[in-house]
Each structure stands twice: as C-alpha cells, then as structure tokens.
C-alpha cells in the first residue's frame, strides 16, 4: 500500500517537461480550494456483485503511473476517497449497445481509485461516466489490467459545468495478445488533465488510445499519453483530435517509448486539431524515444483551419456555410468514433 | 598522381585527427575570470565599451544556471574551469596567400581544400585557432561595398554598422552559453552586404581547433541589407585530443527587407568536442533565411538553428543532417518563430544512428498571436542502423488562431534487409550496400549543399560505413 | 434563356487576369462544349461561375435564369440550380456519401424539413445502379481514397441526385476508361431536358461523341475565340489547336 504519511513530492513546475505549457500551480490551487478533508462523490457499477471488491489486491495496488503528476497522485491518495475494484473473469461482459457501466458522481472534491481487471479470455465493453455537480473536482486514479487474450473496449465520458475540473491519471496494461481500446471525451469542464500510460507487456498486444473533444470558451484540455513498449512484437496507436472554438486551449503531449529489446514494435501517434476560432490555442508535443531495432514508429500532428477546398465543395452542392462548417467539424471527429467502433 | 606516390601519402582521415606543434604568443590560460577578459581585450586592443560589455556578460554567465528545459543531461559534462579561453598567434591577419604560414597551408591541404578553389573563392576567412590567420578579400567584393572582417575589427572599424545588431538576435541573457560567448568571443566573421548586392560566389570560412582544452567562441554576425543576397559556408574539422574541448559559437543573421541569407555548416569535430552552438536569424518583410546544417562529429552537439520571422511574408528554412556514432549524441533540430502574418517555414531533418550512437531531434514551431495565415511544414526522419542505436524526437508546436496551418511528421525506420540482400547478391559488400542505402536516405538533403560539400559528405558517409559495417 | 455570361473578367486574387472578357449564352435545353488548349482558362471559368474563393471577378456579369450569380455565395448558386462536376473532386474524410447528399438535399428544402429516408435511399441506390456504382459506396467518405474514375462517377451521382438546371462538367472525361465514360455519359444524357442546360469543358473530342453538343466554343487566352457547330470538335481532333497560333501572330 502507498504510505499516506510519506512527504509529498514536489509540485511540478513549468520546467517539468511533462507539464510544458501546462498550469500545474493553478490546478493545484483549484484542487486544494475544493478539498475539505472528506471526499464527496459516489462510484457505482452495474457489474455483478461477485465481480466487485472494495479493497485493493496486493498485486494490483501499485499506484497508476503518472506522467509528471506524482504530486497530484499522492495528494489524491491522502484524501481517502473510495476504492472500486472490478475483476471480470473469462466471458462476455457488456455489448456495444448495452455496455457495462461504471458511474462516478462528483459532488465537491472526489479522489477515487478505480481498478478493473480483465482476466484471460474476457471480453468487455465498458462505459465509464464521470458526472460532475457544479463546482466539483475529480482526481481519478484509474488502472485497467488486460490479461493475455482479453479484450477491452472502454469509453470514458466526462461531463461537467464550467466551474468543475478533472484529473484522470490512468494506466492501461496489455498482456500477450490482449487488445485494449480507450476513447475519452470531455465536455463542459473548465479544465481537464488526462494522463494515460499504456503499457504493452507481451507479444501481440494491441492498444488504441483515442480522444475526441470540442472545447469552447476558455476551456483548457491538457492531455498526455505514453505508449510504453516493454515487449517485442506489440502494436499501439494513439489518435487525439480536437475541434477548438472560443478562447479554448488544448495541450497534447504524447510519447512513444520503445524500450531496449522491444524489437518489432509498431507504434503511431497522432494529434490533429481543427482551429475554428482566432482566439484558440494549441500546443502539441509528440515525441519518440526509440531504443530498439526493426521498429515501425511514426507520429504526426497538424493544426489547421477548415480546408477551404472542402468547404467550397460542400457549398457548391448547396449546403450553407454554417452547416458546411458544422458537417466538416463533425466529420473531423468522426474518424475517432469510427476507429473506436471498428471490429 | 601515380600509384606509388599514392601509397606514400598518409591515409585519408576526414575526421580531423591531426596534431601540429603549438606556438602561441598569447595564452589566457585555463578558467574564465575578469582577468581573462582583460587579457583578451588587451591582446586584441579592444575599446573600453567592449571590455565593459564582455565583463557584464561574464557576470551573467557566472550567475546563470545550466539549461535544463531544453537540453539533454549530457550537457553537465562541460567543465568550464578546464577550458582555455584565448589563444592567438600574435601575428596580424595576413592579406595575401604567400604570407600565410606554411603550417596553416598544410592544414588546408589535409582538409582537402583544393588550390584552385582557394583562388576562386570570393573571400577566404580561414581561422587558425582563435584568430583570423588569413583574410583575403577579393577586390570586387570591396568594390561592391561588402565588409568581411573579424569581430574586433567589425566592432571597432565598422562600429556604426555592426554594433546596432550585435547581440540583438541572440541577446547576452538568452542562455548561459550565449552569455559565455558574449564574454569570451574571439574569432569568427562579421559580414555586411549592402543594399541590392547579390553575391554569386559563396563566402567561406574554415575553422579549426588545434589546441588541447581550447575553447573556441567564435562570433558571426551577417547583415544582408535590403534586397541583398549571400551564401556563407562554414566547415570544420578538429584534431583529436584526450580532454574535452568546448566549442560554443554564436551566429546571428539579419536579413533585412527582401534579403536572402543561406548559411551552410558542415561540422566534423573530434568526439571529445562539446559543440554547443547558438544560431539564429531574423527575417524581415519578404526576406529569407535558410540554414543548411550537417553534423557528423563531436561528442555532444546541441544546435537548433532558428529563424525569427519578423516581417510579413518572411520565409525560414532549415535543412539538417546528422549522424551519430558510438559515443556521440547529436542533439539537433530547428526553431521557427512566426511573429508576423503570412510567414512560412519549412524544416526537414534526417538523422542516422550508428552503433551506440544517439540522434535526437528537438524542435519548436510557434505561431504567435497576430501572426495570421502562416504555414509550417516539418518532417523528421530517423534511420537506425543497429540494435543498440537510439533516436528521439522532441518537437513542440504552438499554434494560435484559426488561419494558420502547421504540420509535423516524423518517422523511424531501418535499412531494409531485402534491399541489402538484393545489392549484395549483385556483388556489393555489405558496407557498400549499406553506404548506398544511407546515401539514398539523405540524398535529397545532400543535394541542398553546395557541390563541394555534397561530394565531401558522400565520401564521409562511405568511410563511416566501412568503419562501422565493413 | 438559361445561362448568360457577359464580358466576364476574373483573376486569381492579386494575380494576373485569367478570364479576359467571356461572352456566352446557353439557352435552356442546349448542350454547349468549351474546348481549348491547356492553360487557356477553361477550368477557371467553371470555378469563377461557381464562386471559388481563390478568384475575384473584376468585370462583367453572369446570370442564371435571371438570377445574378456573381452576387451569390457558392451554396446559393448551387441552390439556384448551378452544378459543377469538378475536374478534381475534393476528398471529404469523415462524411459519408449518403449523409453528404442528404445534407445537400435538405439544404434545398424549407427550414426544418428533411428528405424522407426511405425514398431517399431507394432513389440513391437506383441512381448508383444506373452509374454502375457499388452500393457500399454510400457508407464510404466522400471521394476519400477513390480512384480518379470513381471520383468522377461520384460527382455525376451527385448531379443526378441534385437535378440542377445548369450543369458544368469540367474535364469529366479525364481519368475515365471507355466503359466508365459511356456509363457517365449515359447518366448525363438521361438528365438532358428542355428546361436544362449543360456546359461541357473538355480537352478531347472523345466525350463529345457521347454527349453530343449543340454548339462548340473554342477558348483561348481567357476568352471564347470561335463558336461553331459540333463539327468543330472533329476539326480539332484532326488538326489540334494549331490554328490558334495564327490568331496570336
């Protein structure tokens, strides 16, 4: 178990590469302002009772890996919020139409721990919803362990008002031939920080990290992901897309790290932003750290306004400018949903 | 040349593993203090304002921390106390080729600068250690009003031209190494090309470190006045020594309205050299700044040529090749700061990691508030030759507003085994096949270099492949 | 009268003049062809008529059924009955063909109304069958990853679905093999009607064997320099555009 009395690590500053362009001090202050010593919120699921545990198991209690946020990780742990642990054995759990649900209601400050384990041969569709009350803050420590030959499709939807904020520090581990997909989307919150570490621990493992967002007004979405290839012969993809309106800001930091001996890794990382407002800002930090051979790794990022040729094509077919722009913005994000749903 | 004569020559060594007897009249010794500065100023006969300027920069240097946010950790290996800060031969700059000391001529010979080329060159500013040893400007250059001098001369004889831009593109306090250079600079080139003058021949300078623990802090400032055009070429090799040598130059380019500057570097220091260079150009309205950069040598290179696009429709470009072998870290890249509307920039960077070599790309592209309708395209590709080779890519892209388009692509690949097999089946050795493949990988970029450099570069790659694969 | 163009002059924004005074009248029910050497400005004419933002009109007028085209936005021109089959149809990733056509049809209906889904798909499938298109294309993104020929066919599909009163076909024959050319031409011919006009822009006579024009115009240096009957196309096929050099001299 983590030692709650251990001294807090230092608050990350702007020299911390994982917080480049970010606002660590503001986030820390705003989280602290909502803390009152008792976590307030509720973590529920419709998973069968026999799969649910409220204590951590010794082999699953390692803290999720943070990407620059050990300070927040420990801070959340000190708040003593709930633990929800779900162990799904071999079999089908949920479908695309009727997924297994995990609901997180956030009232004021809530810092729960969510551990989901998919045992070998398990196939699960999970919808994880984070529902914020007004002026609430969530620091959610999530870990998903996908054992060999298991398959996870996980959709994370976070909704709140412009006085609420969220940090999701997540770890997704994929064993041999395990397949995992996560699609995250955030709407309405003042700010969001998402840190997702995807670990590929066995040959044939496949990980797909997706995100689609439409920030507006002064919203701030700060996402960092790490595709960590420990084992040879695994595959990972990350696609983060944003449609920016108003004076919103998106920060994306992604890294493909291929450890020595993780040969024949196949990884791709992409961050694409559609800029709809003259006041919107994007910071993109896609990285590669390759220490193995025979790999196929690449990344790409692009930030651009709507393509005027596409806009003209739609308008030449009689579609008005406002509608045409809306269609193109939807289409831009559509790629993400299609990837999530594809067989 | 006959075959026999060929055999009598020492083997060709393009990495610069030379050693020549040292005889330096001025030697400021190790470490950097106010005394060192006084020593440098006295030796150069510099005016008081420059002495004060250097001392102020020294204070900044001493108080500033090492860079942390944008630097690999290997930079901590630099020991400032073990560096010798000033060396000069004590002889004034030579005007004609005949007056150049034999020793230096021999150095040029082994560096492979052809005789006819020397005569051909518009102006050779060949640097031996820290001081200009040979400075021959062709008459037509002076007739056109082109100024091509060393920094001290530039800041004294041509103060009204150079002082306004000196330290303006790269300020003293930019980082610890720019402060260091402002304090201890010695050698380099100050060039001014007047309005509308377009130089057909490239200007060249050869730098060479030839002394143990000698820090070389050359300083280059090139000003292209409105509508002027020039290309500057800089190539270096260094002798190999046991203790580390620091090379920390500062290059400032100023392209005024409609001007074009191309700056070509081929860097091949010995692997005990720390090569920490700050290169930055400023491009005003309709101006173009283009960096063509090739890093083959040094133990640690940190170099990120930058263009500040300050005027409407300005254009910036960086073409970069780097090769990292065992014991080398090539931390190179590019920066493009779009500070005006309708500016465009392009970055193409290719790296090759061999053995335990590590090549990193570090880049920054900024489209600032108010800089509307800007375009950037960045492409970086890495080639890994061995299982232990390493490559990293660290770009940072910031875009403001909805009128600019910025695109970044990066990939990592290996030499295709099928292709090697195919070539070997046709009778090529593995090294030859590898050499062809590597040449193919960077072929399009090598063609961006002036002819004499591209031939040299291909030869270097051939030799490298023979060493590491053959 | 359907399409009336008078002294139309246009240029790439802040660039040189490309259209240098085009005069053209296409009465309803007629098919006119424009032929001309590469770079004569034929494709620019089609883009300017449809309001492409890269170009600006410096003089002249263009009316469709009495409506001033030049004062309208590109989508208004489309809803006014003007259709352009693009020389290079644009890829629109993420938007399926079916949804795209529905949006285009909806834009032609009163606010709040939508095309009936059942009859829409029925008609779409039938039209695709007519053009020899795979029904699976409905779910694919507009033109994304299509071959050159598939894109051209897709544009003709849109034309048949949107039923314009005046259609401009810009180099529609390029990239089509003989079979595709015949199918596409049959599609176009099926739309020929007394109330509809066509402007066929082409470099070769090939297409005009299938879509027989009433009038052939020769375009050169940004304007129409000759007007004749369909026999003009035969002449050009045999002799090329060399005769224009005499005009230049």
- Given the DSSP bridges, would you call strands B344-353 and B375-384 parallel, antiparallel or unpaired? parallel
Mean pLDDT, chain A, integer: 91
**Chain B residues in contact with A232 (beta carbon < 8 A):** none
Helices (H), A67-188: 70-78
Question: Over 60: is that where the pLDDT of A183 sits?
Answer: yes
CA-to-CA separations, A68 to A18, B299, B350, in angstroms, rounded: 5, 30, 30
Question: For residues A240 and A208, what is the distance between their CA atoms, to the nearest angstrom?
Answer: 11
Tell me the average pLDDT across B449-460: 76
Tell me the average pLDDT across B426-443: 81
**Chain A residues in contact with C75 (beta carbon < 8 A):** 314-321, 324
Interface contact A319-C93, CB threshold 8 A: no
Higher pLDDT, B4 or A207: A207
What's the pLDDT tens digit per position in A287-300? 999 998 889 999 99
| Residue B436 banded pLDDT, cuts 50, 70, 90 | confident
Higher pLDDT, C120 or B97: C120
Q: Which of C31, C79, C55 is nearest to C192 (CA)?
A: C31
Query: How far out from the chain centre does Cα A184 lie?
Result: 5
- Adjacency order of strands within the sheet including C55-64: C17-26, C3-12, C55-64, C67-68
Fill in the DSSP letter of residue C77. H
Higher pLDDT, A247 or B355: A247
What's the pLDDT tens digit per position in A160-172? 999 999 999 999 9
**Chain B residues in contact with A283 (beta carbon < 8 A):** 396-398
Interface contact B397-A288, CB threshold 8 A: no
Q: Which of A168, A174, A236 is nearest to A208 (CA)?
A: A236
Interface check for A335 against chain C (CB to CB < 8 A): the answer is yes
Higher pLDDT, A89 or B215: A89
Interface contact A327-C103, CB threshold 8 A: yes
What's the pLDDT tens digit per position in C66-107? 999 999 988 899 999 999 999 998 888 878 889 889 888 988
Chain A residues 247-266 with a CB less than 8 Å from chain B = 260, 263
**Chain A residues in contact with C98 (beta carbon < 8 A):** none
Closest-CA distance, A199 to chain B, in angstroms, reads 19
**Chain B residues in contact with A298 (beta carbon < 8 A):** 409-412
Pick the residue from chain B with its C-alpha nearest to A291.
B390
CA-to-CA separations, A310 to B22, B272, C99, in angstroms, rounded: 68, 54, 15
Whose structure tokens read 């449809």? C50
**Chain A residues in contact with B402 (beta carbon < 8 A):** 244, 275-278, 280, 305
Question: For residues B86 and B24, what is the distance between their CA atoms, to the nearest angstrom?
Answer: 10
Interface contact A287-B392, CB threshold 8 A: yes
pLDDT of residue A38: 62
Tell me the average pLDDT across B87-111: 50
**Chain C residues in contact with A334 (beta carbon < 8 A):** 94-95
Closest-CA distance, A267 to chain B, in angstroms, reads 10
Question: Over 90: is that where the pLDDT of B429 sits?
Answer: no
Residue B207: half-sphere exposure toward Cβ, Cα within 13 Å: 27
Question: Over 80: is that where the pLDDT of A182 sits?
Answer: yes
Region of B355 please: left (phi>0), alpha (psi -120 to 50) or beta. left
pLDDT of residue C100: 87
Burial of A252 per CB tally in 10 Å (0-12, 13-18, 19+): buried
A76-90, B54-68, B124-138, range with the lowest pLDDT: B124-138
How big is the A-C interface in CB pairs under 8 Å?
A: 83
Whose structure tokens read 């599609």? C187
Question: For residues B42 and B52, what is the distance between their CA atoms, to the nearest angstrom?
Answer: 13
pLDDT of residue A190: 96
Query: How far out from the chain centre does Cα A341 lie?
Result: 17
pLDDT of residue A20: 87
What's the pLDDT tens digit per position in A255-297? 999 999 999 999 999 999 999 999 999 999 999 999 988 899 9
Interface check for A26 against chain C (CB to CB < 8 A): the answer is no
What's the pLDDT tens digit per position in A191-203? 999 999 999 999 9
What's the pLDDT tens digit per position in B270-280? 777 888 899 99
Return per-residue pLDDT of chain C as tens, 249 residues: 589 999 999 999 888 899 999 999 999 999 999 999 888 899 999 999 998 888 999 999 999 999 999 999 888 999 999 999 999 988 888 788 898 898 889 888 988 888 999 999 999 999 999 998 999 999 898 898 998 889 999 999 999 999 999 999 999 888 888 888 998 899 899 999 999 999 999 988 889 999 999 999 999 999 999 999 999 998 888 888 888 887 776
Mutation target among A21, A232, A275 for the B interface, most CBs of B within 10 A: A275
Comparing CB atoms, the residue among A244, A280, A292 nearest residue B387 is A292
Interface contact A288-B69, CB threshold 8 A: no
pLDDT of residue B7: 38
Phi then psi for residue C244, to 5 deg, are -70, -25
| Residue B116 banded pLDDT, cuts 50, 70, 90 | very low
Interface contact A298-B410, CB threshold 8 A: yes
Question: Over 80: is that where the pLDDT of B294 sits?
Answer: yes
Joined together, the tokens standing for residue B103 give 């020793």
Q: Which of B309, B306, B308 is nearest to B320 (CA)?
A: B306
ipTM value of the model? 0.87
Tell me the average pLDDT across B38-55: 90
What's the pLDDT tens digit per position in B214-267? 447 889 999 999 999 999 988 654 344 434 478 888 999 999 999 999 999 888
Burial of B468 per CB tally in 10 Å (0-12, 13-18, 19+): middle
Grouping H, G, I as helix, E, B as strand and the rest as coil, residue A319 is coil
Grouping H, G, I as helix, E, B as strand and the rest as coil, residue A147 is coil
Mutation target among C67, C103, C160 for the A interface, most CBs of A within 10 A: C103
Contact C148, C175 (CB under 8 A): yes
Query: How far out from the chain centre does Cα C147 lie?
Result: 19
Q: Neighbours of A (≥3 Cβ pairs closer than 8 A)? A: B, C
pLDDT of residue B28: 60
Question: For residues A100 and A260, what is the distance between their CA atoms, to the nearest angstrom?
Answer: 37
**Which residues have a Cβ under 8 Å from the Cβ of A343 and sit 6 or more positions away?**
none
What's the pLDDT tens digit per position in B135-145? 455 567 888 99
**Which residues have a Cβ under 8 Å from the Cβ of A25 and sit 6 or more positions away?**
A11, A13
Higher pLDDT, C231 or B84: C231
pLDDT of residue A83: 87
Interface check for C139 against chain A (CB to CB < 8 A): the answer is no
Question: For residues B433 and B422, what is the distance between their CA atoms, to the nearest angstrom?
Answer: 9
pLDDT of residue C192: 92
Question: For residues B180 and B32, what is the distance between their CA atoms, to the nearest angstrom?
Answer: 9
Tell me the average pLDDT across B363-377: 94
pLDDT of residue B132: 44
Question: For residues B229 and B260, what is the distance between their CA atoms, to the nearest angstrom?
Answer: 5
The share of chain B scoring above pLDDT 90, in percent, equals 41
Hey, how many other C-beta atoms are within 10 angstroms of the C-beta on B230?
A: 25
Joined together, the tokens standing for residue B105 give 């001529």
Interface contact C92-A310, CB threshold 8 A: yes
**Which residues have a Cβ under 8 Å from the Cβ of C208 and sit 6 or more positions away?**
C33, C200, C202, C216, C230, C233
Joined together, the tokens standing for residue B463 give 């030799």
pLDDT of residue B226: 97
């Amino acid at each position: 178990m983590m030692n709650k009395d251990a001294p807090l690590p230092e608050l990350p500053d702007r020299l911390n590469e994982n917080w480049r362009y970010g606002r660590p001090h503001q986030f820390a202050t705003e989280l602290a302002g909502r803390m009152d010593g008792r976590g307030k919120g509720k973590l529920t699921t419709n998973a069968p009772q026999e799969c649910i545990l409220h204590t951590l198991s010794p082999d699953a209690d390692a803290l999720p890996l943070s990407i620059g946020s050990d300070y927040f990780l420990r801070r959340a742990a000190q708040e003593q919020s709930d633990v929800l642990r779900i162990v799904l054995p071999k079999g089908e759990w949920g479908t695309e139409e009727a997924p297994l649900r995990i609901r997180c209601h956030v009232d004021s400050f809530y810092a729960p721990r969510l551990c989901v384990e998919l045992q070998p041969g398990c196939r699960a569709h999970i919808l994880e919803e984070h529902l914020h009350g007004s002026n609430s803050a969530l620091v959610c420590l999530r870990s998903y362990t996908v054992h060999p030959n298991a398959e996870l499709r996980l959709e994370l939807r976070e909704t709140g008002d412009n006085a609420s904020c969220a940090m999701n520090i997540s770890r997704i581990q994929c064993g041999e031939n395990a397949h995992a997909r996560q699609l995250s989307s955030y709407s309405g919150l003042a700010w969001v920080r998402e840190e997702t570490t995807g670990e590929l621990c066995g040959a044939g493992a496949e990980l797909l990290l997706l995100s689609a967002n439409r920030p507006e007004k002064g919203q701030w979405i700060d996402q960092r992901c790490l595709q960590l290839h420990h084992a040879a012969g695994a595959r990972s993809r990350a696609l983060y897309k944003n449609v920016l309106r108003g004076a919103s800001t998106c920060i994306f930091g992604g890294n493909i790290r291929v450890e020595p001996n993780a040969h024949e890794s196949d990884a791709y990382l992409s961050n694409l932003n559609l800029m709809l407002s003259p006041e919107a800002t994007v910071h993109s930090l896609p990285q590669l750290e390759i220490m193995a051979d025979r790999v196929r790794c690449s990344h790409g990022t692009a930030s651009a306004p709507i393509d005027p040729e596409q806009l003209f094509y739609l308008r030449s077919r009689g579609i008005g400018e406002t509608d045409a722009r809306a269609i193109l913005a939807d289409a831009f994000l559509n790629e993400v949903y299609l990837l999530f749903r594809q067989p | 040349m006959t075959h026999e004569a060929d055999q009598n020559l020492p083997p060709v060594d393009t990495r610069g593993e030379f050693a020549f007897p040292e005889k330096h009249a001025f030697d400021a010794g190790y470490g950097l203090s106010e005394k060192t500065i006084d020593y440098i100023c006295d030796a150069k006969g510099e005016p008081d304002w420059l002495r004060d300027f250097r001392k102020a920069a020294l204070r900044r240097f001493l108080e500033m921390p090492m860079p942390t946010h944008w630097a690999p950790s290997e930079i901590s290996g630099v020991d400032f106390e073990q560096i010798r800060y000033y060396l000069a031969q004590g002889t004034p700059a030579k005007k004609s080729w005949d007056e150049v000391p034999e020793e230096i001529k021999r150095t040029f010979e082994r560096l492979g600068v052809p005789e006819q080329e020397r005569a051909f060159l518009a102006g050779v500013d060949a640097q031996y250690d820290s001081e200009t040893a040979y400075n021959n400007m062709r008459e037509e250059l002076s007739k056109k009003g082109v100024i091509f001098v060393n920094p001290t001369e530039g800041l004294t004889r041509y103060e009204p031209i150079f002082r306004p831009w000196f330290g303006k593109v790269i300020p003293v306090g930019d980082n610890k190494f720019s402060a260091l250079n402002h304090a201890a600079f010695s050698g380099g080139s100050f060039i001014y090309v007047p309005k509308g003058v377009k130089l057909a021949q490239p200007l060249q300078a050869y730098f060479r470190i030839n002394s143990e623990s000698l820090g070389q802090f050359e300083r280059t400032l090139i000003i292209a006045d409105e509508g002027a055009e020039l290309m500057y070429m800089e190539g270096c090799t260094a002798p190999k020594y046991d203790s580390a040598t620091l090379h920390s130059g500062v290059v400032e380019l100023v392209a005024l309205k409609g001007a074009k500057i191309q700056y070509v570097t081929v860097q091949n220091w010995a692997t005990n050299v720390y090569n920490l260079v700050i290169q930055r150009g400023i491009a005003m309205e309709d101006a173009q700044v283009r960096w063509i950069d090739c890093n083959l040598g040094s133990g640690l290179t940190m170099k990120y040529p930058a263009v500040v696009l300050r005027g409407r429709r300005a254009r910036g470009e960086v073409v970069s090749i780097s090769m990292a072998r065992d014991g080398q870290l090539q931390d190179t890249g590019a920066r493009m700061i779009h500070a005006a509307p309708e500016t465009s920039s392009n970055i193409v960077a290719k790296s090759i990691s061999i053995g335990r070599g590590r090549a990193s790309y570090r880049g920054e592209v900024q489209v600032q508030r108010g800089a509307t309708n800007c375009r950037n395209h960045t492409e970086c590709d890495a080639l890994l030759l061995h299982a232990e080779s390493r490559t990293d890519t660290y770009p940072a892209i910031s875009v403001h507003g909805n009128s600019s388009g910025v695109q970044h692509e990066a990939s990592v690949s290996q030499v295709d085994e099928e292709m090697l097999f195919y070539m070997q089946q046709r009778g090529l050795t593995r090294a030859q096949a590898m050499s062809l493949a590597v040449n193919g990988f960077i072929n399009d970029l090598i063609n961006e270099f002036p002819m004499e450099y591209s031939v040299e570069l291909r030869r270097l790659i051939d030799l490298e492949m023979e060493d590491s694969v053959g | 009268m359907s399409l009336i163009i008078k002294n139309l002059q246009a240029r790439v924004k802040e660039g040189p003049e490309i259209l240098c005074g085009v005069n053209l009248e296409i009465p309803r029910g007629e098919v006119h062809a424009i032929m001309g050497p590469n770079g004569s400005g034929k494709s620019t004419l089609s883009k300017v008529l449809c309001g492409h933002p890269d170009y600006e009109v410096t003089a002249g007028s263009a009316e469709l059924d009495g409506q001033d085209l030049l004062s309208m936005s590109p989508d208004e021109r489309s809803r006014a009955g003007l259709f352009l089959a693009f020389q290079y149809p644009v890829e629109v990733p993420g938007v399926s063909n079916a949804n795209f056509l529905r949006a285009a049809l909806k834009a032609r209906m009163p606010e709040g109304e939508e095309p009936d889904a059942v009859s829409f798909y029925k008609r779409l499938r039938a039209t695709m069958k007519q053009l020899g298109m795979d029904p699976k294309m409905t779910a694919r993104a507009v033109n994304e990853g299509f071959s050159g020929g598939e894109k051209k066919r897709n544009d003709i599909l849109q034309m048949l679905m949107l039923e314009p009163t005046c259609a401009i076909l810009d180099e529609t024959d390029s990239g089509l093999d003989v079979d595709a050319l015949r199918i596409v031409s049959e599609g176009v011919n099926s739309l020929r009607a007394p109330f509809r006009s066509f402007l066929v822009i082409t470099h070769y006579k090939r297409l005009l064997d299938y879509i027989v024009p009433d009038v052939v115009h020769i375009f050169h240096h940004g304007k129409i320099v000759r007007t004749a009957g369909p026999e003009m196309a035969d002449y050009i096929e045999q002799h090329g555009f060399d005769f224009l050099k005499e005009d230049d001299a």
